[in-house]
Structure 1
Amino acid sequence: MHRIGWFDQQVRAGFYPNSSLLAKQFEISKRQAARDIEYMEMSLRAPLKYVAKYRGYCYEDEAFVLPHLYLSEEEQKILKYLALRYRHYNYDNAESVRRVGDLLSRFEASENLEEKGFSKLPIFDASPRAIQHMELLSEAITDKKSVYALYKDEEGERQLHVSPIRFVSRYHADYVAVHSEAEVRPILLRLDGITHLSIAGAAFGIEDRESFSKFEQGSKPARAPYLAKIRLSTPLDGNSWRGFAIQSRNELIYTVAFYDTDSFLQHLLVTEWEELIAPKWLKQNLQIKCEQITNRFRGTE
């Protein structure tokens, strides 16, 4: 983000920066610099335009601003108030609400932040795979679809065919309530126990979907997804491409959001499409995976 902030300043100053200038400034490879610029275009939606005359970039829309990276003093005061109210909440779902209060208190504007080790905003480990699984499960719940899940727990790893019902947070862990072919009543699966997930056919056990109403319903994590631009042979109905959310469409060209690269590459290998237009790094990863598969057929790997 420091590199992106610098690049943004150079664009606004009218210096027409490019990948070579970015690489030289931060002593990184041109390939990494190109990925930074691509990230600005695809994930941050920066309206960058390459100007051949100046061999660099400008903004097509000068009103564009980078997303906020820091909290203002006013925002910190609001969070401090919310944290105080949530930590003293003592009614329904009190434990979960107080957990939110404890989280918000980390962002409070306080003179003791330095002493408590919070001189900077805390960084949280958000697994791209877990986020992608929540996206796919959300899509399945909305569209009343079942899913195939490779699930691992103390009993070992096994393949499950289930219909997801809703997300549940219990005992400081995240779960998805599902109806399983092997169980009479709905069960809970830990999200971090799901190692692979794909959307299947129509859901089953729909009559049991309300039996988990006593549990709190979780929410999808907020994290900017990667964006892939793909040309398809036929138009899509709805707002997703087999579980992957569609951000925009222009005739047969779709911008698709994804969080976990491995899951999306697997999707590309088994789904029909005409052209992977962007981003370049995803095209390279797909080419490498295809070459690995070809080499296995040839017996060279």
Structure 2
Amino acid sequence: MSNMHRIQWFDQQIRESRYPNSSQLAEKFEISKRQAQRDIEYMNITLRAPLAYIAKHRGYVYEEQTYILPHLYMTEDEKRILRFLIHRYRQYDYDNADAANRVAYLLERFTDAEDDSIHNRLPVFEFNPKLMQTVVLLSDAIKKECAVDLLYEGERLRVYPVKFESRYNIDYVLSHCEHNQKQRMLRLGAIDQIEINEQSKRNSGAILPVKAYPSDEPWRPVQQPFTAKIQLTQQPGPSWGGFAAKPSTDSSDLYEIEFYDTEAFLRHLMTSAWSALLAPKWLREKLRARCGSVLNRLNEEVEG
């Protein structure tokens, strides 16, 4: 149950002159006395409730009877968005990480604190409707242990999603690929179409446990993002296919795109619309080599 339900109960007890305390709150909602005391501190510090402890009655009252709790009701969609934000701040591990973690703690007080499973299945990503829908469908597939059919960077795949992961501000779903029997880290921003296939189940016995699958792509940590200068045909907003994007001061249609995973970014360049890749030079060379390899294979097929 959300701590907001507990706070509302505590508020009502005060208004009925029942002098509630942390022990009563803990007993009522079957939580620890320490958690109950944190709820009371939250009322006092964050909600600015004028609480006063009356030793004679071993409980609390309001020093100002005119105090009213702020509007606490939230829809499930609002709670879901808050959980996304909580997970985002929890995963932040760079400059000012302590402050980000404190923000996560504060936001968590507005949601169901006991629902720890949310941290195991939600990724770190900017909020937009398409990504939210992708996450909802993938979460459902993970829960049901069934396959999903994807259009991923122009490739049709059937995969069994296992869990969400975030790596340096890029969001992935770890999946078992049915085609090559390998683990694949699929970037959420690159999933164009998704459909749950409930007839294909992981628990059928044909699907190996996660450790039995070799990794399709080794990952090496990078401390700072690379930045590509790209001329785009359309304004991308805050991200371009899941990669952070911001307008360049050089030109109105030029954008600076940040990326950590070079391989994922190269695949995105191969399947997305853009006008010119201006920098960095090494990325241009990698893309040229990749395209040359594809052309060579096509020429070999024609000659054969």
Shorter-chain TM range is 0.3 to 0.5
TM-score of the pair, normalised by structure 1: 0.35
- Relative contact order, CA 8 A, sep 6+: which one is greater? 1
